[in-house]
Amino acid sequence: MGKLLLKDREIAIPGEKLAEGMDYLPAGGTFREGEGIYASQLGLISVSGRLVKLIPLNGKYFPKKGDMIIGKIVDMGFSGWRVDFGWAFEANLSMRDATSEFVEKRADLSQYYDFGDIIAAQITHVSGSKIIDLSMRGPGLRKLQGGKLIDVTPSKVPRIIGKQGSMISMIKEKTGCNLLIGQNGVIWVSGDRDNEVLATKAILKIEKESHLDGLTDKIKELLEKK
Amino acid sequence: MKYTKRLDGRKFDESREMSAKVGIIKRADGSAMFCIGKTKAIAAVYGPRQLFPGFLQNPEKGLLRCYYDMTSFSVTERKRPGPNRRSVEIGMVTENALNPVVDLSKFPNTVVDIFIEIIQADAGTRCAGICAAAMALADAGVPMKDLICSISVGKVGDKIVLDLNKDEEDFEGGSTDIPVAIMARTKEITLLQLDGDIKREELIEALKVAQKGCDKIYEIQRKALKDQYEGVKDE
């Protein structure tokens, strides 16, 4: 009979034994060696049925197909752009995926996106290691103007969004800010100044206390106090 | 020569006082500090990030690169800043000590850089550096199979002692310094150097003492890693 050595939602460090026996199965962030299941990262344990999963508490964003990211234009070529989004390699945004307009040959690409522009885009393809393709075709994908950017730990993004977007919609509702969350841990906030500050404060609080319980109520309190 | 009582009054298998802290460098991806007695080491981890020069890139797995440095004020006599023969070698052995536990197969063509800085030295700096680096790697979220604990053992005079300090290293009656790094879970040895001379039986005995010391270090590392989150209380 298998045995769980750490409780659900407890913090585990790399190499720590999480469960014993073949009844449990290792999921993301864990591995099996012999009879035991061990953590391979620093994170929170999440047990669902027989699966033992580890939710990492830190680490860089790892690109995944279908994710919406917020990035910065860092280079321009003849037929597209290069986008930096916090991963080791820059992503490609080709002309074809960037705009639906007809673009003349040798047109000046900076009229669409210039150096330093912040864009919201979707990852359409991740190959092997280096090549990541982006697309700007989809709802909400655009160049971001105004507002401010907040950097958070990518693994905490699901917590900031909340269950079925509960947390994010609460912040939106209470502050009246426009929010866009990139899976790479970049959050764009736009609204009037006081509300931007309040929303930022709330988001940073979620990031800091993401591993604690009862966060929704605390954030609600924070937002209503003002 | 007889060594009957340790110079600082410790027991023969007792280490100096240890402390550890994680997340001390804000702009780094992961960072940690490890102090043992007067020796203080800080480590910063950056990456996975793009690797240059390009010919070092490995399309199968990422590279671990380690840089060890002593600050000029870390020792009694001012040390000339910058890398030297000794620091390059220690960087290399640190890399070899950490490599077996770090799994970078998910990050091809990239590098994880570790920078170890000794801000105060009183023997056992490479061990303190390895302990700090292991914690910094965990803090950076790099996949690891295990944690590395490291401590020095040795022979001072005729006694096997744990965690030598500088005075003991310079003991007139002769001393042997053996830095050891051990995986916390599997107890595999990833670093074993020896400066001096020792008998086979004594070495085996010394390694047993080192194992005990490493168990203690592991508890401190574990507490430091968990504390940065568990320490966050409601405001």
pTM, entire model: 0.92
Picking from A94, A122, A144, the residue at the C-terminal end of a domain is A144
Do A217 and A181 share a structural domain? yes
Which residues in chain B are contacts of A58 at CB distance < 8 A? 30, 139-141
Quick check: B234 pLDDT over 60?
no
Q: How many domains does chain A have?
A: 3
Question: Which domain does A40 fall in, by range?
Answer: 3-56
Which residues in chain A are contacts of B30 at CB distance < 8 A? 58
Size of chain A in residues: 226
CA distance readout (Å), B120 to B40, B95, B126, B153: 5, 21, 12, 20
Assess contact for B32 and B132: CB atoms under 8 A. Answer: yes
E strand map for B71-193: 110-120, 148-156, 159-162, 175-183, 189-192
CATH code of the domain in which A178 resides: 3.30.1370.10
Q: Between chains, do B232 and A212 touch, taking CB under 8 Å as contact?
A: yes
**pLDDT tens column, A17-44:** 999 888 899 998 899 998 899 999 999 9
Check CB contact of A3 with chain B, cutoff 8 Å. Answer: no
Listed by number, the residues of chain B in 83-122 with a beta carbon closer than 8 Å to a beta carbon of chain A are 101, 103, 106-110
Domain at B18-228, CATH class = alpha beta
pLDDT attached to residue A1: 59
Do A221 and A152 share a structural domain? yes
> Which backbone phi and psi does A121 adopt, to 5 degrees?
-140, 165
**pLDDT tens column, B171-220:** 988 899 999 999 999 999 999 999 999 999 999 999 999 999 999 999 99
When pLDDT is cut at 50, 70 and 90, the band that residue B235 belongs to is very low
The ipTM, to two decimals, is 0.89
